[in-house]
Amino acid sequence: MSENQKEPQYKLRWNEDLRNKVMNSAKANNRSINQEIIVRLEESFQEDIEKYEDALKNAKLEFLLKELALRMGVFKITVSSTEDEYIQRQKEIEEMKRKELLVDDKKAP
């Protein structure tokens, strides 16, 4: 390695089509081909980290929802993404509450 070259080099074998894509992208972003490759690689690792973090947040949220449902006496919870299903779940919960109130009223002296 020469004095001017501080970073290690890596010989890359790639097809002409991919090289042209990288060259065009580098020109569009005002970067060298080397800079373009480095930026794209770094972004791909960041995307992997973000996907992992999102999956972890979703898993924690699902766990907390299930724990909350168990503590409330609801033994099955379904997390839905549609508004109709959400509204139906709310109606079911209200019906359960209403039935519990009726049972409590019957127990009252």
**What pLDDT, in 10s, does the model give residues 57-99?**
888 888 887 777 776 665 444 444 566 777 887 888 888 887 7
* pLDDT tens sequence across 14-46: 999 999 999 999 999 999 999 999 999 888 888
Domain boundaries, the chain: 13-73, 78-109
pLDDT at 37: 93
How many CB atoms neighbour CB 25 within 10 A?
15
To the nearest 10 degrees (0 to 180), the angle between helices 16-28 and 33-71 is 90
Q: What is the pTM of this model?
A: 0.44
Where do the DSSP E strands lie in the chain? none
